[in-house]
Amino acid sequence: MNNKYSIADKYFILWAFFIPISSWVIDPTIKGSLISYLLAFLSPLIIICFQKNIAKKYFLDMIEIILVLLLFALISQLANAIYNISLYGTLLVNPGDFDNKIFRNSLITQNMYLIPVILTFLYVKYLYKPSWDKWIIYGGLVFVLYGFYKWLGFLITGADIDFLTNRTFGDSDTVLYQYQGIMLAGMSLQRFQSLTGEPSMFAFTMLPYFIFAIHRKANNIIIIIMGLSILLSVSSTAYLGLVIYVVYMTLISKKKKNFFYLIIGLIVSCLILYMIFSEYIDVIMDMVIFNKMDSVSGMTRSNDFWGDINYFMELDIMHSLFGIGFGYIRSSNLFTTLLVNTGIIGVLSFSYFYLKDFSLKAQNFIKQGNNSIILVLFVISMVAVPEFSYLSFWIFLAISKNNNIRQY
């Protein structure tokens, strides 16, 4: 392999260290001023100046994606003009104005968040090389190590020692920091979140890095550190993702017998650990699973889901097919968010685009890892995470669509 890095390679290597970060911005007054976004906005210059051979395909792809998004936006706004819909009772991104139904401000702002997503996706799709793998992993590792700095700092001092998080949210100037702790053996522990501001979003970000590291056969210490951080998030999102990964790998493995023995071994080990540490495990299980069923958060998620479904069922045919407008509502899951915003055609189009390269018959360990990441991210986003603008959600999809990977 040629280890000489081009300008485009070096640019991505720098970029890779900022892609996982979502709570540290350049200017706190500009909520979307992530360093990874800035690098995304500048990336077309790299294509124009140093990658002219792929520039035509790159920009044609970009135009095609933008035209599809524009088509959805125009049809939904036409439907809003024709039909008298009500926005009351919906989870609007900008809840202050329920009467404005055409070209709401959030239609513009939320589509703007798609720009760095598109630019990142296309850059990786066309320029990815296997030599980038270690830098993607190192980017995830630095992200995790800062999380351990925060986690251990809180354990030792009892205070948040994060000096980087500065992103605000909503219409306030409140920094995006949500302390979520757990009492274990008389100690107050902070749930792992690193530079995301929220444990479930950390799990959503780190799961693909963890799987990627396993299937790129990274150093075992790196894999263990990443895996431990996911467990310390004490997030149902994390555990759901891990279960999906294990089940998928079991189903496609040619050595199902070995995987069967592995699962049995894990179950036995878990039972033994439970007998020894049952008091502590009960606390974690209550927080992650049982208490969530009756918690305000759990009830809110359930109410949001069924509220969105009921709202969608009352829409006219045009809105049912194309939605009321991308960026209008933001629910607690991506499925109903897309369903109301972009309609049935939008959900089907997104699902096809994201799952197009997924296969149950991956022939090698690398492709199995790519498929695992696609499946895990798709499922947990649809059921538990409404975010579409996290760049980690898209770089791994882009890698699976890259020609260098398809040749494996």
pLDDT at 293: 47
Q: Are 156 and 146 in contact (CB under 8 A)?
A: no
In a domain, residue 98? The reply is: yes
Q: Are 51 and 127 in contact (CB under 8 A)?
A: yes
In a domain, residue 217? The reply is: yes
Q: Are 116 and 137 in contact (CB under 8 A)?
A: no
Encode 52-104 in three state secondary structure: HHHHHHHHHHHHHHHHHHHHHHHHHHHHHHHCCCCCCCCCECCCCCCCCCCCC
Burial of 210 (0-12, 13-18, 19+ CB in 10 A): buried
Question: Domain of 171?
Answer: 7-406
In a domain, residue 2? The reply is: no
Tokens describing residue 35: 């360093």
**36: nearest Cα among 385, 381, 392:** 392
Q: Which residues, listed in sequence order, are joined to residue 329 by a DSSP beta bridge?
A: 92
pLDDT at 257: 59
Residue type, 7: I
pLDDT at 365: 87
In a domain, residue 1? The reply is: no
pTM above 0.75, yes or no: yes
In a domain, residue 338? The reply is: yes
pLDDT at 290: 46
Distant-in-sequence, close-in-space partners of 301: CB < 8 Å, separation ≥ 6: 332, 333, 384
In a domain, residue 73? The reply is: yes
Q: How many domains does the chain have?
A: 1
Q: Are 55 and 48 in contact (CB under 8 A)?
A: yes
pLDDT tens for the chain, residues 1 to 408: 446 899 999 999 999 999 999 999 999 888 889 999 999 999 999 999 999 999 999 999 999 999 999 999 999 999 999 998 888 878 888 877 777 888 898 899 999 999 999 999 999 999 999 999 999 999 999 999 999 999 999 888 888 889 999 887 655 555 545 556 665 555 677 888 999 988 889 999 999 999 999 999 999 999 999 999 998 888 888 889 998 998 888 888 765 556 566 666 666 666 665 455 455 555 555 555 545 544 445 567 778 888 888 889 999 999 999 999 999 998 889 999 999 999 999 999 999 999 998 887 767 889 999 999 999 999 999 998 888 899 999 999 999 998 655 554
pLDDT at 1: 43
In a domain, residue 358? The reply is: yes
